[in-house]
Amino acid sequence: MRILITGHRGYVGSVLVPHLQSLGHELYGMDIDLYRRCSYGKNPLEIPSVEKDVRDAEVADFTQVEAVIHLAALSNDPLGNLNPQLTWAINHQGAVRVARSAREAGVRRFVFASTCSNYGAGDDRPAKEDAPLRPLTPYSQSKVKAEQEIAGLATDTFTPTFLRFATAYGVSPRLRFDIVLNNLSAWAFTTGKVHLKSDGSPWRPLIHVEDMARAFAAVLAAPCETVRAEAFNVAPPGENYRIRQLAEIVKEAQPGCELELAEGASADARNYQVDVSKIQERLPAFTPKWNAHKGARELLDAYSSHGLKLEEFEGPTYNRIDHVRMLLKEGYLDEELRWTKKAIPVD
């Protein structure tokens, strides 16, 4: 299948590309490469691509492909809070622009990377896909709005699907340390302490970035009628954790560590579990391979192999909001988060 991936050079995209290549798909990319200075261990694989902002996508970008996977976004709550209007312009309006352009170009499948944080402050029961959506931040609010509007584009010849991913973790060429398991493991490796910034009580579902790639592949292989305008919670069974449980998992994987609560740590308002029975029933080809225990060991092994210092993972290279602020300060990005004419170096 000929597939265009927006955001193919990011944390998820740089793992998704080799996975889909291994399945024989022909891949193309669209990405402004915002994190070109953020490679860890190795650079992402190169595929034919265009450097273009999704806000500028047009029909001609999609005329030669059969499917679009839409990853490109301001990718977490702190980054989404930087400028909520830009978050809406990119995550909502940009996503809808890509979907409309793809449909007009004759693309048959559109797979949207959404988020379980759409459920916001949940109750004690794992949320199913028909649960009320209570997004708490511009990031999740923009994702909900994009889902709703893109679902309205569905036709017999255009199949959008919405993958509501659990919180990601795992090693990637464009590694991030602003996601919970990656962050806790980095604290343990560099300081000998598992540093909790909340009181550890909130629930989070987790998914390894490689299993995210498996989910995209499973959707693309499914009959259109099975996935048309459908949302799926995406996580392995049994991978809902309290944050403190994750800290204990990391502590176990890094002997000699101790737990440490940040001064004034309090509960996080984002608190949700998810039910994944729908994806198990509808997409049996989705066979996740990872759990948090295995993932913590993988992360710690990677930090040992490639090296990691506290100032690196707490600095601007591997934290999305800090990196964008640095690019703004250095003049490489303008206030609309577009590249200026000033040439950015590649570290």
Render each residue's pLDDT in the chain as its tens digit; 347 residues. 999 999 999 999 999 999 999 999 999 999 999 999 999 988 999 999 999 999 999 999 999 999 999 999 998 777 778 889 999 999 999 999 999 999 999 999 999 999 999 998 777 789 999 999 999 899 999 999 999 999 999 999 999 999 999 999 999 999 999 999 999 999 999 999 998 877 888 899 999 999 999 999 999 999 999 999 999 999 999 999 999 999 999 999 998 999 887 766 556 667 889 999 999 999 999 999 999 999 999 999 999 999 999 988 888 989 889 999 999 999 999 999 999 977 666 65
Separation between Cα atoms, residue 196 and residue 173, nearest integer Å: 25
Separation between Cα atoms, residue 220 and residue 4, nearest integer Å: 12
Q: For the stretch 142-177, what's the b/e string if a residue is b when 16 or more beta carbons lie within 10 angstroms of its beta carbon?
A: bbbbbbebbbebbeeebbbbbbbbbbbbbbbbbbbb
Q: Give the 3-state DSSP-derived string for 260-272, with helices as H, strands as E and coil as C.
A: EECCCCCCCCCEC
We find that the CATH architecture of domain 2-176+206-240+269-290 is 3-Layer(aba) Sandwich (3.40)
Domain boundaries, the chain: 2-176+206-240+269-290
Separation between Cα atoms, residue 256 and residue 193, nearest integer Å: 9
Token digits of residue 300: 């710690």
Is the pTM above the cut of 0.85?
yes
Is the distance from CB of 340 to CB of 334 less than 8 angstroms? yes
